[in-house]
Structure 1
Amino acid sequence: MCSDIERADPARQYGKWGRMEIVGQGFLARNLRPIASAHSGVVVAAAGVSAAGGTSEEAFAREAGLLYELIHRCKEKGHRLVFFSTASTGMYSTPGEPGREDGPVFPATPYGRHKLALEAVLAASAVDYLILRLGHVVGAAQPPHQLLPAMVRQVMSGRVRLFRGARRDLIDIDDVVTIVDRLLATGVNRTVVNVLSGAAPQIDEIIDDIEAILGRSTQRTYTATGGNQQVSTVRLRRLVGDVAGMGFDKDYYRRVLAKYVPSYATPRSLTRGEPEAAACDRQ
């Protein structure tokens, strides 16, 4: 995902018999391809807005247009549509009760409001659908604006800018793919599922671990942040039994960082983009 929204031709990618149709060419799309042969009659909209901050209305409009097109196509074909939303602070921003899929949400950012609006369009349609609100997905070869590569660049530069008191729930892309595979296999339909570990460490703890992995120390500056709402994974754990074996405990994020941080500290990775202000809030 090198731009705010991936360019995709739904007419070209849709309708190949016998395989899950993945619309998009970016990070999520590439990682979902290995399970495509197991899920015919499913269309995955993996070409949406991928930057939580500073996204243009034009990018939002492109994603909305793509989703409307896919809804019409899925209705005609009788296919199920998978849409990726967000479980970040852009969506869940009110401290207190854990954020639930069936509870009220008060998105704090244009990105969160955009995703919630598209969720409503899909829920009001006649198609079968699965909406997945993702945490901060981490994996190899991510776009430079996303959370982990942005944080590694900042640590390597010696200076990081953080949102004070922020928490970020990291989840390995391999675990995301397993969860999607299981949800589709069991026929979960017309529902929203939070997909994240459920254990969100403080952003300072994440930086501490990245520094330890890379043998670096940084100068930290802070800016104000909004509320951090805990996000419920009760529905996820009920629907996907495999979650119990994924190690979603308080040290899960450390294992994810150890797995992927070194690959983002290479010279090639560091030249993919400049350190970004407040990048530690990226989706």
Structure 2
Amino acid sequence: MTEETWVVTGGAGYIGAHVVEALRGAGRQVVVVDDLSTGATSRVPADVDLEQLSVLETGRLTGLLRDTGAVGVVHLAGKKSPTESMSDPLLYARENVGGVVSLVQAVRDSGARRVVFSSSCSVYGSPDLPSVGEDAPTLPQSPYGESKLYGEQVLAAAARAHGIGVVSLRYFNVVGAAGPALRDTGTYNLVPLVFQALREGRAPLVFGDDYPTPDGTCVRDYVDVRDLADAHALAATALGSGRSGGTYNVGRGTGYSVLEVLDTVRAVTGRPLDHRVVDRRPGDPASVVGDVRRIARDLAWTATRDLAEMVASAWAADRDQSAPRRGPDRS
């Protein structure tokens, strides 16, 4: 039987590279599309084709999907910082909303009929609930969250109009790494920012300690990037078996405050770690924790790694950077 081909947009990024590994582990051929604005060729395996293009290049993307015979797309390309989106909302409209519109046109015109969409718990805003289910009100507090919600809506409309199967995965906070070449080098995520502070011998910043939470700092649900990648592979399988689609939270269903994450980093690294409290960041909700029963029921997915395991894998990858696996020379 011929292996299915899936295109992964943003596949040279932190999460995308792990999704590529999970899809290949599930027996699929993968082609990576990435504009390399933040992605790295070193994250792409040598035997995986990498096409450097923007998802906004609709014609080229359509041709690629058609030429590769792709049955579906995992769409991760886009901007992802709620804080940055507050200062540059037009960037998020262009890259995230425009990117989904372009993708839908390419999928429709190429004959591909499946999409797994990288959405976000930011669509919920700041829910006044101990845990938030997929049917809770969507009240995003940032242009980033609004862009993800609108992306879901565009894809849902395309599913109805064009018979496209769509699964939207609402990620919670992602931590961990399968190895040093796949580590998170982002400048917005808490754990890599703490590691950077440790390397530089300074106190990491805590953005606000006056939230209505038990210790005053923001509370989030954390999920290991390897577990998250497996959720994408299961979503692709579900679409291939005839499921029309769905929207799913992807988290552990457990909340940790910023200070509790710092305690975990101290325990994992064995290093002293002071912190410095500064003003809140715009767009940060107080607490967001996912109800993850739907994805367990429908896709048989459950997170397997706890916060200590996530931080430990991220720390090991951050420290062991001497011999990362590299992809082919793309120059």
Q: Same fold (TM over 0.5)?
A: yes
1:38 aligned residue (23, 28, 37): 28
Q: Name the structure 2 match of 1:142.
A: 184
- Kindly state the Cα deviation for residue 21 of structure 1 after the two structures are TM-superposed: 0.9
1:106/1:59 CA distance change after superposition, 3 Å = closer
> What does residue 231 of structure 1 align with?
290
Q: Which amino acid aligns with 2:310?
A: V
Kept after mapping to 2: 8 A contact 1:91/1:113: no
Q: Answer yes or no: is the 8 Å Cα contact 2:220–2:289 preserved in 1.
A: no
Q: List per-residue Cα deviations over 1:165-207 (Å, max 9, x = no partner).
A: 3112221111111121122213343311111111111111101
* Alignment-derived partner of residue 65 in structure 1: 98
Aligned pair partner of 1:23 in 9, 30, 47: 9
- State the TM-score, normalized to the length of structure 1: 0.77
For residues 121-148 of structure 1, the C-alpha deviation after alignment (integer angstroms, 9 at most, x for no partner) is 1111233211111011123321331422
| SS in structure 1 at match of 2:255 | coil
Cα shift readout 1:47-88 (whole Å, capped 9, x = no counterpart): 111223213222431222221121112223141112111114
**What is the CA–CA distance in structure 1 between the aligned matches of 2:237 and 2:310, rounded to whole Å?**
26
Shift of 1:98: 3.0
Contact 2:206–2:258 under 8 Å retained in 1 = no
Alignment of 1:198-277 (within 5 A): 198-214=253-269, 215-224=271-280, 226-243=285-302, 246-247=303-304, 252-264=306-318
Q: Once superposed, what is the RMSD of the aligned Cα atoms?
A: 2.5
- Tell whether the 8 Å contact from 2:132 to 2:291 is kept in structure 1 after alignment: yes
Which one of the candidate residues 214, 219, 244 is aligned to 1:167? 219
Q: Flag structure 2 segments of 5+ consecutive residues without an equivalent.
A: 30-69, 178-182, 210-216, 323-331
Displacement after TM superposition at 1:97 (Å): 6.0
TM-score, normalised via structure 2 length: 0.67
Q: CA deviation at 1:230?
A: 3.1
3-state SS of 2:266 partner: helix
Amino acid at match of 1:23: T
Name the CA shift for 1:266/1:159 in 2 (closer, same or farther; >3 Å).
Answer: farther
Q: Is the 8 A contact 2:9 2:74 kept in 1?
A: yes
> Quick one: structure 1 residues 267 and 221, their matched pair in 2 at CA, closer, same or farther if it must change by over 3 Å?
farther
**1:87 corresponds to:** 121
> If you compute each CA radius of gyration, which structure gives the higher value, 1 or 2?
2
Number of matched pairs: 246
Instruction: Answer whether contact 1:92 1:228 (CA < 8 A) is retained.
Output: no
| Contact 1:99/1:105 (<8 A) preserved | no
SS in structure 2 at match of 1:168: strand
Shift of 1:265: 5.4
Task: Tell whether 2:231 aligns with 1:179.
Answer: yes
Identity of aligned residues (%): 20
